[in-house]
Chains A and B, each alone.
Chain A
Amino acid sequence: MATEIKPNTGTWTVKSGLAQMLKGGVIMDVVTPDQAKIAEDAGAVAVMALERVPSDIRADGGVARMSDPQMISEIIEAVTIPVMAKARIGHFVEAQILEALGTDYIDESEVLTPADENNHINKHDFSVPFVCGARDLGEALRRLGEGAAMIRTKGEAGSGNIVEAVRHARKVLGQISHIRGMETDELMATARDLKAPYDLVKGIHQTGALPVVNFAAGGISTPADAALMMQIGVDGVFVGSGIFKSETPQIMANAIVKATTHYKDPEMLASVSKGLGASMPGIDVRTLPESEQFATRGW
């Protein structure tokens, strides 16, 4: 039977649906088309196209902005997996440009220097879906209220240190199970305390889960880190500096993909963790002054 399409594009279902397709996968930061191909060949489910990985942004200092559209287009041409790109928090014009380029997902990211310290982008205005970082459930629900179709932990990008991603994932999941166990009477006060939309809090109470996919990001640098986050209960992982700042990116990329699929299989994890060479050097996040922490950007 043939059906005339009355195409309905940019709907919530297709925006959050793409994230569903990424589950159990690894999204890798890449800065060149060649890196994008390495990531695709290693089994990445998507790539994040950017000019500098977070650890270099951290080292270089200055204002970090959306990447050069030329470079994003080249990466879009190079691979067939979805291509994501970052816009500054609140910079809706960067997001408009990324949408016009055909980017498949926009990360409104604290890794870039925020453009608006009060307001995030109104993501409902876009056909392209957005992913946003969160440190706790309130922050995640505020982003969903603005139209984000996927959530990730903020972690501490470019640190090579998993501690903040673990903190944020445990916080979000812990708050979800806490709300799940509440009486309905308590939900409004909880929405007030979390500074979160009431309807979304009510949804969490009913389903015991976020209505979107939740990935880990920020500091994942080994296969064991990826599997740790999966076992804690996220749906997939972003790896930023961890792959192309390691000694053998191809092998590391492959190993992190395998560890993410087989996160519950310690023998598989042991075998993929062998012979990886040096991981990226890390930073003790406690020694970072607040002004140098990416996670505190946005609210």
Chain B
Amino acid sequence: MAPIGVLAIQGDFLEHRNMLDSIGIESVEVRLPEQLENIDGLIIPGGESTTIVQLIDIYEMRQPLIEKVRNGLAVWGTCAGMIVIAKNLKDKRPDPLGLMDIEVSRNAFGRQINSFETDLDINGIDGPPMHAIFIRAPLVTEIGNGVEILAEVDQGKPVAVKQNRILATSFHPELTEDPRMHAMFANIAHSMQ
């Protein structure tokens, strides 16, 4: 079993590592293309999506990452990470990686004063609802074939989606004390491709 990589070019990558650590899952920081080798999955953390995409391009990680995912690398994007892995964005920038067949609207709930927390039921997560923290959060506005909606807020606003070995959430499980979503992703990542 290889460790889970956490993209560590900007954002709250440390919180993801701490959460994985708390459930006994090994992780490594990924800052350069060669560090994509020998990992079972990659978490793209919360941060600023424009910044993360630019740095992915500056450090020439776009093609290697797309290639890895084509070959079965599991990926989970949280908040900015969801934007980074989307196929399309409503406002056309930054230029996302297109790893998952979803269209995403950035800052869909408004500016920082509209950031919020709430409890959320998620398909595939047993037990009580998860506490979900939305910070200048994105929203999935369209899904392609084979994309499964795991959670919605109100009706018809998907905030957690899954396509094969790829997971995206609008919110930040890494800012809570609840490791269930991390355990779910580790299961996907470590399962046979």
The listed residue (B12, B120, B136) touching A23 by CB distance below 8 A is: B12
List 30 A–B pairs whose Cβ atoms lie within 8 Å, in order of A's numbering. A3-B129, A3-B152, A4-B154, A7-B116, A10-B113, A11-B116, A11-B117, A13-B117, A13-B133, A14-B115, A14-B116, A14-B133, A14-B134, A18-B112, A21-B47, A23-B10, A23-B11, A25-B10, A25-B47, A25-B51, A43-B55, A45-B10, A80-B91, A82-B112, A82-B136, A104-B136, A257-B55, A258-B58, A261-B10, A261-B31
Instruction: Give the nearest-CB partner of A24 in chain B.
Output: B10
**Contact pattern, B 36-66, Cβ under 8 Å of A = 1, otherwise 0:** 0000000000111011001100100000000
Which A residues are in CB contact (< 8 Å) with B115? Answer: 9-10, 14, 17-18
One digit per residue, 1 when the CB lies within 8 angstroms of any chain A CB and 0 when it does not, for chain B 76-111 equals 000110000000000101000000000000110001
Q: Which residues of A contact B175 (CB under 8 A)?
A: 13, 17, 20
> How far, in Å, is A25 (CB) from chain B's closest CB?
5
Which residue from A3, A22, A40 sits with its C-beta under 8 Å from B119? Answer: A3
Interface size on A, residues (CB 8 A): 42
Contact call A8/B117, Cβ cutoff below 8 A? yes
Size band of the interface chain B makes with A: 35 or more
A1 near B: Cβ within 8 Å? yes
Q: Which of A2, A10, A20, A128 contacts B153 (CB 8 A)?
A: A2
Contact mask for chain B residues 1-35; partner A; CB cutoff 8 A; 1 contact, 0 none = 00000001111111100000000000000010000
A286 within 8 A of B: no
How many angstroms between the C-alpha atoms of A99 and B155 in the bound complex? 30
Q: Does B172 contact A (CB under 8 A)?
A: yes
CA separation between A161 and B13, bound complex, in Å?
31
Q: Are A45 and B51 neighbours in the complex by a CB distance under 8 Å?
A: yes
**Does B114 sit within 8 A of A, measured CB to CB?**
yes
| Chain B contact residues, CB within 8 Å of chain A | 8-15, 31, 46-48, 50-51, 54-55, 58, 79-80, 91, 93, 106-107, 111-123, 129, 133-136, 150-156, 172, 175
The complex places the Cα of A71 from the Cα of B8 at a distance, in Å, of 34
CB pair B117–A102 under 8 Å, yes or no, is no
Q: A2-B152, A25-B10, A102-B111 are in contact. List 14 more A-B contacts (CB 8 A).
A: A4-B154, A5-B116, A8-B116, A18-B112, A21-B46, A21-B48, A21-B79, A22-B48, A23-B14, A42-B54, A104-B136, A257-B55, A258-B58, A261-B55
By CB atoms of chain A within 10 A, which of B48, B91, B122, B123 has the most? Answer: B48
How long is the Cα–Cα vector from A152 to B91 in the complex, in angstroms? 32
Interchain CA distance A14-B115 in the complex, whole Å: 6
Within 8 A of B (CB), among A240-262: 257-258, 261-262
Q: B48 to A81, Cβ gap below 8 A?
A: yes
CA distance A262 to B10 in the complex (A): 10
Partner of A81, one of B11, B51, B118: B51
Collect the chain A residues with CB atoms within 8 Å of residue B113's CB. Answer: 9-10, 99, 102, 104, 127-128
Is A81 a contact of B50 with CB atoms below 8 Å? yes
Contact B106 A80 (CB under 8 A): yes
Complex contacts, B116 vs chain A, CB 8 Å? 5, 7-9, 11, 14
What residue in chain A is nearest B159 (Cβ atoms)? A3
Interface: A41 (CB within 8 A) = yes
> Which chain A residues border B117 with CB–CB below 8 Å?
7-8, 11, 13-14
* CB pair A3 B54 closer than 8 Å: no
Whole-angstrom distance between the alpha carbons of A203 and B14 in the complex? Answer: 20
| Partner pick for A24 among B9, B58, B129, CB 8 A cutoff | B9
| Nearest opposing residue in chain B for A7, CB measure | B116
Q: A238 in the interface, Cβ–Cβ < 8 Å?
A: no
> CA of A3 to CA of B117 in the docked complex: distance in angstroms?
12
The docked-state distance in angstroms from the alpha carbon of A43 to that of B51 is 4
Whether the Cβ atoms of A9 and B114 lie closer than 8 Å is yes
Q: Across chains A and B, which 5 residue pairs bring their CB atoms closest together, nearest first?
A: A104-B112, A7-B116, A1-B121, A14-B115, A2-B152
**Which residues of chain B have C-beta atoms less than 8 A from A262's C-beta?**
31
Partner of B122, one of A1, A40, A44, A128: A1
Q: Give the residue name and chain of the B residue nearest to A10 (CB).
A: B113
Chain A, Cβ-Cβ closest to B172:
A17
A100 to chain B, nearest CB (A): 9
Contacts of A127 in B (CB 8 A): 113
A81 to B11 CA separation, bound complex (whole angstroms): 13
A50 contacts the other chain (CB 8 A): no
